[in-house]
Structure 1
């Protein structure tokens, strides 16, 4: 059959064959112009084909996050506004006074680096590696599931071509997800006020930052003087950054909790297969909406739910401490209580982009028990003082448990006994550990199975 006699569908299949084989010097405009019968924009398809061909014929690699970065920066930099000298000066002054006040409210040491006033784009560049790490398991799961689902839906006569395009299908699904992540992070850059605003450690160790433009948006309807608001937000941001720098284990612990949750992420293959059965490559909006809404992520497994409970407890413990320390440090501010309540409501509800992030990766980052955790830290501070309270962050095994948040009285009693020089009450685990360290054979702890004993030999002859 002559080339001119091919149908648009046959032209498209030929383009796919060239794409997967890496033939020639690329796809020419004349070939693409013949696809108008398929309602495909040739210019758009030309760009897509060039990108796909380069990825398909290149070395084996994971999902490329370049699209996520481009999309996020495009959204973040739309206003084109930078940080003015006046904004920088005002925030520098707020951070300087916040540093002095905070040193009276906590024994955790100051940061070695100066805080920063960041543009939205700079915040994206500083935090995107963490977002990629958070979202990578979901992106990989979607990419793998697309390969399987689309292959199963393909007609028999196209199985050979589809089998050779597995890597291409992975890239399509992963790239769509990466682009959607970029949109969410870009939108989030318009909501966050400071580096620790989301609760997890997004900034580099010891780095504190405020986004002046978002700070102005946050305070616009509060009817609170800007200098008071800046001082409160600066104090809270420094407290958050100081805590993560002091407790070296804390950043890894949060990351591990997120990883525990992410390991259980998998795509609802039945939903994806249903989507693949009617998927039109020229109309990717339905797939994009499914990814954005979280429709491809099934209900959480029991292991994921348990991991989420642990993560929520850890984030609430962090946020509660930051809340108490900030309140103590800013007690001189006339509007401190009003600002604190506004911050708590904002953290409890979250913004549209934060909710979109929850749909995208299936993980909500809003601590549900921040008020209860703050009440616990306040009780500990009143009972044993600032130094003993902050010492609980020195090692992970000293940290308050969920039971301590439910009823701080037992934790306070233990800390008061330690302050008096009394030995803590021993339990069965302490006794078993002491025997083990002494070289004795420890008795099994309650709940552990006793190792099976060898059966005696039967003395009777065979």
Structure 2
């Protein structure tokens, strides 16, 4: 530690540090971390270097060295073309401006990493601050002067370690996801849809379903997800802002960090790795975080429920559509190891629990007002169904059917409360008029004239 804080990193072995950290970071990545430390000592580096996350993620994503073959690209292009035609019958939301494509794991990492960075930044900042605080409390007295001037350095160290760990998780995630919308949040650039052929083959290996049917179903689902976020441009920002609202409330458990640091054995780094991967350093959620998570889960469930219904209608010609849909639901409910690691790293599980209820609501809305009436609910944020509508779609359907007939929508609890308030105000005004009372301002003006003499004109 003395050598680090003095700026002397020349004799430190990246390979030994990689084994010491217990984070399964390859020595090249550790060398990049050390280079960033040198930049911090020289004053040239400020903040978190997110390029470390990209390098680590690409290192994992590109390990197999496989690209997309011409045959895979042709098969998926054909599946996307037919899926687009089927979606034209199932939704009024228009097609994408750019053609969907088959991408490698590395290309998926490059395209989606800016979103992961945006979501993880609040947590990275919190961890870096907690590391600085814990170091100051654990350091001996004769090192306090060094620690006092090393605040920016320790934020750089903490941010670099978190960025590298995030890259490790995103790299592993790239080996599991099948499409751009697979994780539920809009990680692909606006208007883009993609399928990863390497992971598509793994997904269908044990299902005993023809590959052409699998490709058609997954292409339809991917296009439906991308079309929705392209059409409702406000929706992407809405989701990202709610995720960041949750992340901003995360605080590192400094007591757990200090307790682990006090008994940490460098020769047995498994405890540090398990603490990072299990989320042990993140305390229990606060009430505000729980409320934010509930809102986010309802939002994601509403999105996924619409995608489920549209995909079901569009793929009704596929003999194995029901079996594929159930496999997708099971896979989405359980999540893969990398997604679980992501949840531990940032404290957020991206698996909404109310997708079946949301899909049932969208099905009821479709039966009641048709495809156009259903899809119009995505035109503006204030039209989108609420959590109460998911619980009981009857009120939403009554409002929509009344509007389609040109009638006034049935009143709800809010309408009744406003009507009662207006009625009370009106009754109070009528009572005042019947008693001959005048408004306060008028009576106040009359009182001012009580002492005036006739013909007395006071200046205004």
TM category, shorter: 0.7 to 0.9
Q: State the partner residue of 1:55.
A: 40
1:118 aligns with 2:103: yes
Shift of 1:277: 2.2
The runs of 5 or more residues in structure 1 that have no matched partner are 1-11, 20-25, 435-439, 444-452, 457-462
| CA–CA distance in structure 2, aligned partners of residues 197 and 47 of structure 1 | 31
Shift of 1:264: 0.7
Say whether the 8 Å CA contact 2:195–2:219 is kept in structure 1: yes
Q: State the partner residue of 1:22.
A: none
Q: State the partner residue of 2:353.
A: 368
Offset from partner CA, 1:365-418 (integer Å, 9 cap, x none): 011111111111111111110000000111111111112111212211211111
Q: State the partner residue of 1:450.
A: none
SS of residue in 2 equivalent to 1:201:
coil
SS of residue in 1 equivalent to 2:97:
coil
Q: State the partner residue of 1:74.
A: 59
Q: State the partner residue of 2:224.
A: 239
| CA–CA distance in structure 1, aligned partners of residues 314 and 213 of structure 2 | 13
1:341 aligns with 2:359: no
Q: State the partner residue of 1:104.
A: 89
Shift of 1:51: 3.8
| CA–CA distance in structure 2, aligned partners of residues 47 and 338 of structure 1 | 46
1:378 aligns with 2:367: no
Say whether the 8 Å CA contact 2:300–2:352 is kept in structure 1: yes
| CA–CA distance in structure 1, aligned partners of residues 62 and 201 of structure 2 | 17
- Of the three residues 190, 198, 212, the one matched with 1:227 is 212
Q: State the partner residue of 1:299.
A: 284
SS of residue in 1 equivalent to 2:241:
helix
Shift of 1:88: 0.2
Q: State the partner residue of 1:403.
A: 388
| CA–CA distance in structure 2, aligned partners of residues 49 and 203 of structure 1 | 31
Q: State the partner residue of 1:448.
A: none
Say whether the 8 Å CA contact 2:57–2:167 is kept in structure 1: yes
- Of the three residues 128, 133, 136, the one matched with 2:113 is 128
1:277 aligns with 2:271: no
Offset from partner CA, 1:60-84 (integer Å, 9 cap, x none): 5211112211111011000000000
Say whether the 8 Å CA contact 1:27–1:46 is kept in structure 2: no
Pair 431,405 (structure 1): closer, same or farther in 2 beyond 3 Å? closer
Q: State the partner residue of 2:168.
A: 183
Shift of 1:430: 6.2
Q: Which has the larger radius of gyration?
A: 2
SS of residue in 2 equivalent to 1:392:
helix
| CA–CA distance in structure 2, aligned partners of residues 340 and 311 of structure 1 | 23
Q: Output the aligned Cα RMSD.
A: 2.8
Normalising by structure 2, what TM-score?
Answer: 0.84
Q: Which segment is superposed worse, 151-160 or 271-280?
A: 271-280
Q: Which segment is superposed worse, 140-149 or 282-291?
A: 282-291
Say whether the 8 Å CA contact 1:176–1:288 is kept in structure 2: no
Q: How many residues get paired?
A: 415
| CA–CA distance in structure 2, aligned partners of residues 96 and 46 of structure 1 | 46
The runs of 5 or more residues in structure 2 that have no matched partner are 22-26, 420-424, 429-439, 445-460
